Amino acid sequence: MIKEAIFHRPKNNYAYAYDNDTLHIMLQTKKDDMYSVELLFGDPYDWVDGSWQTITKPMTKSGSTSLYDYWVIAVKPEFHRMRYGFKCSDSNETLYYMEGGFFTSAPTDIANYFCFPYVNNIDVFQAPAWVKDTVWYQIFPERFGNGDPSINPEGTLPWGSTDPTPSNFFGGDFQGVINHLDHLEELGISGIYFTPIFKAYSNHKYDTIDYMEIDPQFGDKETFRRLVQACHKRGIRVMLDAVFNHSGYYFPPFQDVLTQQEESKYTNWFHLWNFPVVTEPRPNYDTFGFVPSMPKLDTENPQVKAYLLDVARYWVEEFDIDGWRLDVANEVDHAFWREFRKAVKSVKPDAYILGEIWHDSMPWLQGDQFDAVMNYPFTNSAIDFLAKDCISAQDFADSIVKVLHMYPKNVNEVAFNLLDSHDTPRILTLANGNRDRVKLLYLFQLSFIGSPCIYYGDEIGMDGGQDPGCRSCMEWDEKKQDRDLFEYVRSLLKWRRTEPVFGNHADIRFIDVNNEKNYIIYEKFNQDTCLRFIINNSLNPVEVSSDALNMATIQEWDIESDQKKEFTLGSTIHVSPLSFRIFELS
Ligand code: ARE
C-alpha cells in the first residue's frame, strides 16, 4: 500500500455537509492501489459498556486520474456529528487511516479518529436553488444592440463598421437588449450576466466613475428597470458586475486625492504610497495590474466598505437584480466579502454571488462568501481538448476529474461554467474556425454539472481574438449568422431543460478514454436514467466497441433532429470525425 499517497483532511472538498443532514467524505489514494475503502464511523458519545459503537460502510470510487483514485461516501449521522476513519485494503494488507496515522486494527482511542464536530445549519454551503437550472448568457453592453441612437456617446461608429479597439464605441445600450430579448428567449437561456453598466469612462466600464448611476450611453435608471422587468417576465434573471477592487480614474474621491493631495478627505480610500500622488511615469499607489486609471480601493476602510455595501444593496433592492459577479474577487479581502454576502442576502436571500477567480477558490466557497466562481479550470480543460486538441483524451479526463473533485458537490452544481468570455478569444477562434469543434464544446459544456454560460454571439458563430477582438458588435443580419449553430445550441438547451439527467440533476463519470483514437466516453446518471456520450475528437471516424453500452434496451438521442430513436446494438458503433453520439440506457 502506498501510504504516502493517501490523503484526507476533515474540511473543504474532503469533508463537508452537502445539506443539513448529509455529510460527504472523500479519500484520495494512488490510482489502482486500493481494491476497497470503507468508512468506519460513529457518534463520539455513543458508548455501550465502555466500548465505542461504530459501523463500517463501503465507499465508492467516484473518479480517477492517471495519478489518483477518489473514494466518496454520503452519510447521515443521526446526531449531526461524527468521528471517522478509513479502512483501506489492497491485495496484501488492511490498514486503518486516521488523523492519528496508520493502524493495523481499528484504534480504540477515539482521539485518533478524524472529527466532524457538528453540522451547524448556518455553516452549510447553500447556493440559490434556481442557479442549478439556469443557463447564462453574457452580454458586453456596448456591443449587443444599439436601440437608442439618441444617447450614442460622442464619436460612435456605425454598428459593426470596424473591428473593436480598446477605445472605440458602437453605441450598444439597454434598449438594444430589450429589442433583442426574443433572440434570447428563442435560444432558451434563463439568466443574463452583464459586464459593468455603471457610469464609467471606457467602453468596457471597468473604470467606474459613479457606482450609483447607470452610464448614460446605456440609458437611465428607468430603462434599466424596464429591462430587468422585461427579463423577469420571460423567466430570465439578471446579474450585474461589481467592480469593487478598484475604482476608475474619474471616480470623484480619486479626483479629490489628485487635486487636494494630503488635504483630501479620501486619502484613506486608496492605497497611496506617498505624496504627491502621481499617475505618471508610474503610479505611486496600488492599482489593478499596473493600470494607473484603476486605483485599488481600500476595502478595509469602514467608509469605503459602507459605501460599497450600500451600492451592493441598492441595485438589488431598487431594481430587483438577481446576482452580482465580483470583479477581481481574489484581490479583495475576505472580511469584506463576508459582509458583502450578509448585506446582499439580507435584501434578497436567493441572490447569486459569483466571484471572478481563475484559480483554485476553495477559501471563498465555504458558505460565508461566494456561491460560485467563474470556473476557468473547466474552461481551460475543455478548450485544450475540444477546441485546440493540444492535450490527450486521458489528460482531458484527468483534468475534468480533478475539477470535479476540487470542490464540494453542492459547489460544483452552481459553478459558472464558461467556454470563453470578454477576457479570452472566442471559442470559434480558439477552435481555429472549426465549427464542428464548437459543437463538441457546447455538447460537453451543456451536459456538464454546473451553471453554463454562453458568450454573446458565439451561438451564431461569431469569431474574435483576445480582448479587444472578442468584443465585436453582435451580428444581427440573419444571413450572416450561423443559423445551423444557433438551432443546434437551442436544441441542446431544450434537452437540458427537459431531461434532468442531461443537465444538473445527475452525476458524471468517464467510462473510457482512448488516446490513440482520440475519443472519450462519459456517462451521466441518476436513479432514473443513464446516458452515455461518445465524443470523437479526431479527424478520423472511429468504431467503438458496443461493449461500452452493455445494456438491454437502448435509445439514441438525436440532438439535431430533436428526437429519441430506438437503437439496435451491433458489435461496433460508428462515430464520424469530430462528432458524437448519445445513448440512453435502461
Ligand atoms: C486593457 C487592454 C488589455 C491590456 C490591459 C493592461 O484591453 O489588452 O492587457 O488593459 O493594460 C478591464 C477591461 C480590459 C482592460 C483592463 C485594464 O475589460 O479590456 O485591459 O480592464 O484596463 C486577471 C485578473 C482578472 C481580470 C483579468 C483581465 O485576475 O480579475 O486579469 N479580469 C477582470 C475583468 C476584465 C477587467 C478587469 C478585471 C479589470 O473580467 O475584463 O479588465 O477591471 C491568468 C491569470 C488570471 C488573469 C488571467 C487573464 O489565467 O491567472 O489571474 O486574470 O490570466 O489575464
- pLDDT tens digits along 267-294: 999 999 999 999 999 999 999 999 999 9
Q: Could you identify the residue written with the cell 428597470?
A: 225
Residue nearest to atom 54 of ligand 1 (CA): 358
Q: What is the pLDDT of residue 258?
A: 98
Q: What is the pLDDT of residue 571?
A: 79
Strand partners, 508: 524
Distance 422 CA to ligand 1 centre (A): 9
pLDDT band at 21 (very low <50, low <70, confident <90, very high): very high
Residue nearest to atom 49 of ligand 1 (CA): 423
Question: 142 near 424, Cβ under 8 Å?
Answer: no
Residue nearest to atom 12 of ligand 1 (CA): 206
Q: What is the pLDDT of residue 568?
A: 80
Q: What is the DSSP string of 103-169?
A: ESS--S-GGGSEEE----GGGS----GGGGG--EEEE-GGGT----GGGPPTTPPPTTSS---SS--
356 is catalytic: yes
Q: Mean of the pLDDT values across residues 423-447?
A: 98
Residue 266 to residue 332: CA distance in whole angstroms: 19
Q: For 494-514, how does the pLDDT look when each residue is reduced to its tens digit (9 = 90+)? A: 999 999 999 999 999 999 999
Alpha-helical regions (H) of 39-93: none
Compute CA distances 586 → 398, 525, 527, 534, 566, whole Å.
28, 11, 11, 17, 12
Distance 314 CA to ligand 1 centre (A): 26
Distance 296 CA to ligand 1 centre (A): 14
Q: What is the pLDDT of residue 550?
A: 67
Residue nearest to atom 19 of ligand 1 (CA): 467
Q: What is the pLDDT of residue 538?
A: 98
Q: Which of 38, 207, 356, 499 is catalytic?
A: 356
User: Which one of 467, 470, 472 would you pick to mutate in the ligand 1 pocket, going by the greatest count of ligand atoms within 8 A of its CB?
Assistant: 467
Question: 248 near 218, Cβ under 8 Å?
Answer: no
Residue 9 to residue 288: CA distance in whole angstroms: 35
Q: Which residues contact 182 (CB under 8 A, 6 or more apart)?
A: none
Q: What is the pLDDT of residue 464?
A: 98
Q: What is the pLDDT of residue 335?
A: 98
Q: What is the pLDDT of residue 545?
A: 87
Question: 196 near 241, Cβ under 8 Å?
Answer: yes
Q: What is the pLDDT of residue 556?
A: 92
Grid coordinates belonging to 502: 442531461
Distance 531 CA to ligand 1 centre (A): 39
Q: For 79-92, how does the pLDDT look when each residue is reduced to its tens digit (9 = 90+)? A: 999 999 999 999 99
Check whether 345 has a pLDDT greater than 80.
yes
Check whether 357 has a pLDDT greater than 80.
yes
Q: What is the pLDDT of residue 552?
A: 61
Residue 569 to residue 38: CA distance in whole angstroms: 37
Q: Please report the ipTM that was assigned to this predicted complex.
A: 0.98
Check whether 551 has a pLDDT greater than 70.
no
Question: 403 near 65, Cβ under 8 Å?
Answer: no
Distance of CA 273 to the CA centre of its chain: 36
Residue nearest to atom 3 of ligand 1 (CA): 467
Q: What structural domains does the chain harbor?
A: 3-123 (2.60.40.10), 248-298 (3.90.400.10), 507-585 (2.60.40.1180)
Q: Mean of the pLDDT values across residues 509-526?
A: 97
* Ligand 1 lining (C-beta closer than 6 Å): 166, 204, 206, 243, 288-289, 291, 294, 327-328, 356, 358, 422-423, 467-468
Q: Mean of the pLDDT values across residues 353-372?
A: 98
Distance 467 CA to ligand 1 centre (A): 9
Q: What is the pLDDT of residue 553?
A: 67
- For 251-255, 373-377, 572-576, which range has the lowest pLDDT when averaged over its residues? 572-576
Q: Which of 327, 371, 398, 458 is catalytic?
A: 327
- Residues of the chain above pLDDT 90, percent: 96
- Ligand 1 atom showing the smallest separation from residue 204 Cα: 18
Distance 423 CA to ligand 1 centre (A): 7
Residue nearest to atom 55 of ligand 1 (CA): 423
